[in-house]
Structure 1
Amino acid sequence: MDDLVVVGAGPYGLSIAAHAAGAGLDVRLLGRPMASWRDHMPDGMYLKSEPWSSNLSAPDGGHTLADYCAGRGLRAEHGTPLPIGTFSSYGMWFARHAAPEVEEVTVTEVTPEGDGFRVRTAEGPQLLARTVALAVGVMPFVHLPEALRGLPPGHCSHSSGHRELVRFAGQEVAVLGAGQAALETAALLAEQGARPCLIARRPRLNWNTVPQPLSRPALRAVRDPHSGLGTGWRSWAWSELPWAVRGLPARSRERIAATALGPAGAWWLRERFERRVPVLLGHELHRAVAEGGRTRLDLTTRSGAPVVVDTAHVIAATGFVPDLARLELLAAGLRSSLATVGRTGTPELGPGFESSWPGLFFAGLLTAPSFGPSMRFVHGAGFTAGRLVRGVRKRLGAGGPLSGVRTIVAPRRAAAGSPGRRGRICGE
């Protein structure tokens, strides 16, 4: 029986597994490494965060993005956008050198078993674990506006559904949203020969400013400090004090998670976007109808005037809405029993990221209403990994021997594509 099974092998899952292995836990890491970055972001996208704030977390503080880039002659510099492909490759390198072996299996169910958990996969034997950490990323929580949900296949898609956009060359594409994903998707569409139009409810677009130099006069640095989530004291608080956010009332945390660090485009994208993409701002979508091979969008302006847009395809860059009800791999009875933060549908968590069900831990987007907006970014992985593993160790120390779980377990077999090595760092 394993001490810890980590479900998900993105930045959070890899970091948690690295810390768990470094702490001597018997840990297994399940999932496709860096899946959302490798499979769900178009070629040509760039990392919005600064490279120095986009490190995965190893217990020794090493294996940083700068380490990876330095060994390959790549630039990882403040104020210089980094290609998503480079970041994905960095994550794969981290998986090989700083984390336990990733078992590329699909987890289909996590269910209570005595004082622990049974983890079922589509490819191999079941696992028994004393504790489980769910680091499932954002893909279970893809959000489509209700008006689009009745359209036939092929008429609309989510921005996360495209690895490449060249197939839209020559076509009109309506892009819904006002955040980085919408703005960059629209710019890439235009650059690859499509005819995009951006539609947003917001009356104006927000753009981040050019980052200030890392080295500045002391007074300026104190007045407007750098942080992993941007400059300014508010961003610094979200970035550096997740533990303090957790101490706030649930209603405050809920509001912070919903409003802090709202939609905005990266400074380096603005010129590319404004040169080539027409926009309809302050327009609300209230109906979408398929007409032959095209789609009609019925919009309303802020003054109530109707506007109709006829397009070949709609891409909804409308983000992700974390909700336990959509986490289908978690057994329904367990899901419904978890304490949640206000009306968010996200788990209420203790200081070690443990849910109200003993031994069940969460990481990533689902934890933002507990620990604040840094959990929406790679930057939050370092805080999460250290705290969560300490929480696991505390739970294992307090739990004693498992009751109600059979002690005769089938011999371990390697999952498909994995030699079955667990809980050890490469190079030990």
Structure 2
Amino acid sequence: MQLKRVVVTGLGALTPIGNTLEEYWEGLKSGKSGSAPITYYDTEKFKTKFACELKNYNPEDYFDRKEARKLDRFAQYALVSSDEAIADSGLDLDAIDKFRVGVIWGAGIGGLETFQQEVLNYAAGDGTPRFNPFFIPKMIADIAPGNISIKHGFMGPNYTTVSACASSANAMIDALNYIRLGHCDVIVTGGSEAAVTIAGMGGFNAMHALSTRNESPETASRPFDATRDGFVLGEGAGALVLEEYEHAKARGAKIYAEVAGGGLSSDAYHMTAPHPDGIGVVKVMENCLRDAGLKPEDVDTINTHGTSTPLGDVAELKAISQVFGEHAKDININSTKSMTGHLLGAAGAIEAIASILAMEHNLVPPTINHTTVDENIDPSLNLTLNKAQERKVDVAMSNTFGFGGHNACIVFKKIS
């Protein structure tokens, strides 16, 4: 069977360093930090008092007050970013076959704030279970793609992938495969997350997963730096319109990139820690390259998972050196989480968008906040430290890994 080609025709972003695609790119190339003291609740008794919140986000700029109250923030973010991507794609929604348009979305947690608030309200009451009738539909992770499809009338495949921080990368790979197998013409894909909450921050603090650099939150996300002490939690969403190539060409669509392939693997090692030798990471990149029909030396840049954790960063770079050999030193390796923080289930989507934009502009965004060399990291690797670097980018890879040992890798190439 001849697989169909799949391309990216629309992008949308709502991130801690920019509330639109254009603002996001400006933040990326300038090395902007999205980390700042938390404004959503009183952090006095919390170990970590900062996160990468959205800036200047007001739900009533996008929804009427009644509609906003029915949507958890993660679902709001999904609708906002997907609307931008659909508009960017130039799709004529009245002319397309909506039975062949799907929505496959990623969310690692879903409506955590809604769950938290309903439980707190119950605990503060007299024991009578007075729950909001929108509690369940606001909270469930699949409501984000559900709302996108309802708004636009898309009647193809519609579901959420949940694989912790790999969720939106899994969603994009599923979307790729549905289209190239001929089941759909267009799929809106990506991911959203809104876990900067009392429960989210408290839970990750209890795991000792978060940075506690409260004296300097803007520099706390420092992948590959010897002084890194954990990740910085972020929130937001990224959306991509994936489209069958001939369908896109026939309507004269702008094409950002071709989705060359995707790979999946499992560490099968530990609930939260990566395998120290990066075995699963090696395999996921090999699987991705094989699926794309590419050689290691074809890859120009890799946006790593790079969360700024002591174990994870080293294991991933070891895996890159193993897969790419001598070519590894010629690749621009970076971690945009140094700017956005870790968006959990939305990370794969916004980082894929960063990779596509790097390819479009031939400019690799930096890994910011690096001050101290880690002796456990190969010094010959180009980690794109502190400043964006110009280079020709024809092939860009993006890695995303999740608690539970879930590994996902997706690779894009310039259209030819």
Structure-2-length-normalised TM-score: 0.29
Higher alpha-carbon Rg: 1
